[in-house]
Amino acid sequence: MTPKEVLALIREKEVRCIDMRFMDFPGLWQHFTIPAEALTESTFEEGLGFDGSSIRGWQAINESDMLVMPVPESAFIDPFCKDKTLTMICNIHDPLDKTEYTRDPRNVARKAVNYMKSTGIADTAYFGPELEFFIFDDVRYDQTQHSGYYYVDSIEGAWNTGRAEGPNLGYKLRYKEGYFPCPPSDQLHDLRSEMMLTMIECGLTIEAQHHEVATGGQGEIDMKYAPLVQMADNVLKYKYIVKNVARKHGKTATFMPKPLFMDNGTGMHVHTSLWKDGVNLYAGSGYAGLSDMGMYAIGGLLKHAPALCAITNPTTNSYKRLVPGYEAPVNLAYSRRNRSASIRIPVYSPSPKAKRLEFRCPDGSSNPYLAFAAMLMAMLDGIKNKIQPGEPLDKDIYDLEPEELAKVPKAPGSLDEALEHLERDHEFLLQGDVFTRDVISTWIWYKREKEVDAIRLRPHPYEFYLYYDI
């Protein structure tokens, strides 16, 4: 869609408001709105100003002026606004020289794609994330100097079998038994269908929706794969729709990786493949139908996985999910079917076009622009340097002898550990000036000061259970 076509759509649909969206550094959509008549063709060239110092992880107050540059092909009609509103995703630029802002996550993703093309290895990087989420009926939490707690609840929750609900009709989902039950046990089918249809209305291509493994409202809606930057845009649109459809029905949705203790967390398994001239470069005649290039890409992902986790699993809560026993991909190995391995090669279809890698570590708390870009850079590093991934792990992890299991590398056990890996291993991200040293150092600083230390300094409720009587 061109700027002229956007303006024609505004007239055709009688749009009254234009919403400008962009991504902050940690990974949340930000926005401001202008009246429709204020948008002109020149806006697409000149941009609109805003205060960059008020955005997390961005500018200092003495150099705070920034520009948003709307991307016309990203335009869609917002289904949740009272007044007819057209939303556009924006790139961030410096107002003085109009250069693209290095800490703009979307800019990092675009640079990763351009770097890939410059190497001559591939011309398209396809990504297909499987986003999981929880839908709750109630969430409460607080942290003060003298108290701290959280509470979530769901009509489906296994813990509510004995609750007086006037009447309680049963059909609560048992722990770890939420995968594919029919209604009435699946009490969120219609809600997920509304989310799915709203996504289609907003331009996303959807393949399926279903309940996920955990009790208490875990769900998944699967999008069809798309090129890297477009898919990162789609992830933000997806999360926006899930949250707002839930809110419309008096419920709340979260992509927090581990909101429930002792049941499955929510991940974002990412399917990916590289293509050139319409040919899938990962398809071949090797292990699980992979090419040598596909194997080298696995080698790159596995080599850099501990550092990647600082970006693909960027919260302290991410590492409550990355623990053994809940289908969590804690083992840094690859396999064609083993879901406890961090990289799986799906074998659903024999078609070369369907050949891909599934990196299972990431979760939905990640910034999709940075996560996909980092994955692409790791794969390109593996391909350029012909990094061998070693032998596949096709055995059942839980049947391995302790001595054999100890030889399998593991994902980091905490965000702080992942950040330490990123400090030591980030040269592959700097190639082509995709991730700058400033972006890496700012990311590490922000995560340590605002999240790791913030959690480390606060007493945990369970510590009272363990230690109060000491």
Q: What residues are labeled active site?
A: 51, 130, 132, 212, 220, 269, 339, 358, 360
User: CA of 187: how far to CAs of 130, 215, 371, 454, in Å?
Assistant: 21, 11, 32, 37
Cα 55 off chain centre by: 20
How many C-alpha atoms does 270 have within 13 Å on its Cβ side?
28
| Kind of pairing between the strands at 76-77 and 85-93 | antiparallel
Contact 363, 300 (CB under 8 A): no
Distance CA 436, CA 434 (A): 6
Contact criterion met (CB below 8 Å) for 358 and 270:
yes
Whole-angstrom Cα distance, residue 419 to residue 414?
Answer: 9
Of 421, 444, 89, which is closest to residue 234 (Cα–Cα)?
A: 89
- Residue position matching structure tokens 């699967």: 222
Q: What residues are paired with 125 via a beta bridge?
A: 274
**Number of helical (H) and strand (E) elements in the chain, helices listed first:** 14, 18
